[in-house]
Amino acid sequence: MHKRVKKLKKEAPEEIPLFLEAAGIVKTIDGLSIIGDKQKLKQIKKILDFTPATKDGRDLRSAMILKAEAKSREGMFGDGTFLID
């Protein structure tokens, strides 16, 4: 486990389940459907709609949202092509 995550777990343990839930959804963004991926992105933003108690939490929240946004635009082959929609 990364040292910043360990520190976050110690300082703000109530935030960890929210980050884990959002991370699980990020992994399901697959590029099949642009509408589906956008819905997953909205769901991630809704889960992470809080102000983290620590700087590491704020950094992690920002990084997760940026990663989810980028992944939701990639499509199936990384070039923005979606199978459906």
* Predicted local confidence at residue 77, as pLDDT: 86
Distance CA 85, CA 24 (A): 24
CA distances from 28 to 34, 36, 39, 55, 70 (A): 13, 10, 11, 27, 13
Q: What is the pLDDT of residue 3?
A: 85
pLDDT bracket for residue 83 (50, 70, 90): confident
Other Cβ atoms less than 10 A from the Cβ of 36: the count is 17
Three-state DSSP class for 28?
coil
The Cα–Cα gap between 37 and 68 comes to: 9
State residue 1's pLDDT score.
Answer: 64
